[in-house]
Structure 1
């Protein structure tokens, strides 16, 4: 396997696509439940497909480019999970090919080879939720394009490449907001590549600002700027960090890839045969890991699909390790061991093939059925942060994400706010109001005319529902 991908043959691209399909087909054909975040994205896309505007009519903190992807899928593919899988697979294959190309063009290794792309592909599958279209995956595509511009600095050192680095890191942050931290990595890396002029370094910030400035102007003219700032930008650091999966659950998934990264980086940095430019790239990829950790800190929640940001660094250093193995047999055995271990962990955790005393690391991330919801109508609003109640439903009103919307309902004693809530209900009356935290009852007490149209129902799990009367 290693010897096959050591050949830098463009035809290896075909094998990348075939291998990706073979690896992911069991997941695609399985009945693994939706992630709760997938319900979130599907619901958001469906609402936007109704003609509603993000941050003006729909209150959520998903970044704009990712929201655009979900809108397109809802509009043209009827919100199909299959579309999420196919687009995610295409982006993963594209990233693998792009990563391999940039490493060969920058001469990061002692030989031109397809091993980095192959390892990138395998590492992109160590968690089954990498296979869905998460904002992190979308953002990573732009980050890699920015990295490609960054690695040209030693060869070209042109203002255009520096500007492009800032532009693509800006686009990455518009797909996944915590990716803004990679701009700092980019500026530091530019300095590493001996771009010592402050004016030139500032070009990266200008490129980043051009992207965001254009979008903010667009929001201003569409009367959505204030809502965007409150819903998305100010959610970073304001909202309480939510661990969808605990650290021990995450380490079950990340443990072996982390060991691969440690072994690969130790082997790479202990070798003194690299030229200065190659050492600079190694330092950049090490900084990449630190920046990915920082992005997790700035995220409003932590879950395993965010770990895909670490894949480029894992692939980079593991490829170095494999290419430095002199005996071909040992290289083949090591490659096979890494491949089978990563895929084995992915399949075992995805399908629950685990020891009896070990719970699935995804048990808190997967959706759970809610008995009784199927009889409560199609359009639902949830007072609370459980997206399970929206599975198979459509969102009524624009109040989707409780972390964003609770500020509206905390001000129900304000005439302007209660009038706004009343208008939202009047325009898009819910068939069911799910009240998980008591706020629903409080709001209805201010909306007496609307409250008369509902009756109180208690589900088997104790959840309070206000069902619209026939």
Structure 2
């Protein structure tokens, strides 16, 4: 009994002391802790996310030879779509494979951020504690340990942050540092378009703390625009710049959408990290004594926090995963506070309380103890379908339950982008596009609840006459009545 009490009392102290040691092998322990904390989410997964299904479909479209934006009407950024295509080629629709990649990306972010803070001497001691704190924040919600474009894009943001810290710390005469920072930020916008906000964050941070010159400002902008210039050049050579501008740039420009999670659930998920974040701000204001360089890094983190808030308002779909851009500044301040506390037993208790609080709050929301079915707007709702294992074209907003058991055919996925083509099929460009869609990716079934397919009866009669209508669906005449049940 005495031995058991000793172990329980000493475990928190061992955890904090273990991760304060500057030893790269501590990252293996971070990986183990992250796996243990993520395991309950993997064992009690609520189902397929809409985001997962969208990535499956986008990957299948790209692997099927359809060119983004001109032959695949969707606003998904190109790097996100190409990454989805690579994962679809490797794993198909096998979700555990995708989730494993997401887990690795989350761990890489924790490791990279911890390494950045050590390399740039952000604290008075070199420690892997920030990597542990980042990993703890990463298990706040079950969707954070699944693959998402945000996980990939935010990793690029961290690499850009490393370049910014290099410039702030050394004020190097070499101009390639600023160019690389801009290039990484540009790549991040080709994964999550709303990350363009962080370009302005970088420019302001360098202007305030690195004596940014006009020449380096131009280099930062050049690096940022370079990936986009390459993309535009490719589409110019394909003579498809019109569709790139409409279906990617214009479609992604604007304010974001609504939250896809209940607000009460969001408060519970973010409550524990927010509580420790606010405590850290208060304690740092009261107790911390910064060097000039450390003060600059702290201010850069607050600028990042503002940029993350602006990006959140621009995000197309707001889920707990969207909040991952808040992790670096929150991790930085919480870790600073834990290292600053003189009485180590208090720091140990705070660390263990945060771990326990994050786990309990995440599981409470997932299991419906806070509100019933909190993730229903994020999940694919299964529905009985008379069409299964077919190639289906959607002439309406995509029905996730239908696409879960079928493959997307044709060029038209995002109906907001496709509607004009089908409402004006008499235009030569639209008629040619529809004809090419059926020639390249002919559907077995067309889902058409509003009878839009009939619009092409006089323009493309050869295509129209191949199908007959039955309820909300059009079936190919040679296959109608086969392999589907009412």
Given the alignment, which residue of 100, 123, 146 partners 2:160?
Answer: 146
Q: Give the Å deviation of 1:401.
A: 2.0
Q: Give the Å deviation of 1:265.
A: 2.5
- The higher radius of gyration belongs to 2
Matched with 2:55 is 41
1:122 pairs with 2:147: no
Measured on the aligned residues, the alpha-carbon RMSD in Å equals: 2.3
1:465 pairs with 2:473: yes
Match runs of 1:91-240 below 5 Å: 91-158=105-172, 159-237=175-253
Match runs of 1:69-468 below 5 Å: 69-158=83-172, 159-237=175-253, 241-245=257-261, 247-350=263-366, 352-355=367-370, 358-373=371-386, 375-382=387-394, 383-435=396-448, 439-440=452-453, 442=455, 448-458=461-471, 464-468=472-476
Matched with 1:13 is 27
Q: Give the Å deviation of 1:3.
A: 1.8
User: Which deviates more from structure 2 when the two are superposed, residues 116-125 or residues 409-418?
Assistant: 409-418
Gap runs ≥5 in structure 2: 1-14, 480-486
User: Which deviates more from structure 2 when the two are superposed, residues 415-424 or residues 187-196?
Assistant: 415-424
**In 1: Cα distance, 2:379 partner to 2:103 partner:** 20
Q: Give the Å deviation of 1:397.
A: 0.5
**In 2: Cα distance, 1:428 partner to 1:238 partner:** 31
CA contact (8 A) 1:244 1:302 kept: yes
Q: Give the Å deviation of 1:65.
A: 1.1
**In 2: Cα distance, 1:240 partner to 1:332 partner:** 40
Provide runs of 4+ in structure 1 moved above 6 Å.
none
> SS at the partner of 1:466?
strand
Q: Give the Å deviation of 1:12.
A: 0.5
**In 2: Cα distance, 1:32 partner to 1:443 partner:** 41
**In 2: Cα distance, 1:76 partner to 1:315 partner:** 33
Q: Give the Å deviation of 1:119.
A: 0.2
User: Which deviates more from structure 2 when the two are superposed, residues 240-249 or residues 57-66?
Assistant: 240-249
- TM-score norm. by structure 2 comes to 0.88
CA contact (8 A) 1:125 1:131 kept: yes
**In 2: Cα distance, 1:60 partner to 1:289 partner:** 30
Given the alignment, which residue of 38, 61, 66 partners 2:75?
Answer: 61
Q: Is the alpha carbon distance of 1:22 and 1:246 closer, same or farther for their aligned partners in structure 2, counting shifts above 3 Å?
A: closer
**In 2: Cα distance, 1:260 partner to 1:332 partner:** 13
CA contact (8 A) 2:388 2:405 kept: no
Q: Give the Å deviation of 1:104.
A: 1.2
**In 1: Cα distance, 2:136 partner to 2:54 partner:** 28
> SS at the partner of 2:73?
coil
**In 2: Cα distance, 1:443 partner to 1:241 partner:** 33
Q: Is the alpha carbon distance of 1:201 and 1:371 closer, same or farther for their aligned partners in structure 2, counting shifts above 3 Å?
A: same
> SS at the partner of 2:446?
strand
User: Which deviates more from structure 2 when the two are superposed, residues 136-145 or residues 375-384?
Assistant: 375-384
User: Which deviates more from structure 2 when the two are superposed, residues 275-284 or residues 16-25?
Assistant: 16-25
Matched with 2:4 is none
> SS at the partner of 1:154?
helix
**In 2: Cα distance, 1:82 partner to 1:349 partner:** 22
Q: Is the alpha carbon distance of 1:200 and 1:237 closer, same or farther for their aligned partners in structure 2, counting shifts above 3 Å?
A: closer
- TM-score norm. by structure 1 comes to 0.91
Q: Is the alpha carbon distance of 1:410 and 1:241 closer, same or farther for their aligned partners in structure 2, counting shifts above 3 Å?
A: farther
> SS at the partner of 1:381?
strand
CA contact (8 A) 2:259 2:317 kept: yes
**In 2: Cα distance, 1:266 partner to 1:438 partner:** 61
**In 2: Cα distance, 1:11 partner to 1:40 partner:** 37
> SS at the partner of 2:169?
coil
CA contact (8 A) 1:434 1:440 kept: no
Matched with 1:461 is none
User: Which deviates more from structure 2 when the two are superposed, residues 12-21 or residues 229-238?
Assistant: 229-238
Q: Give the Å deviation of 1:28.
A: 3.0
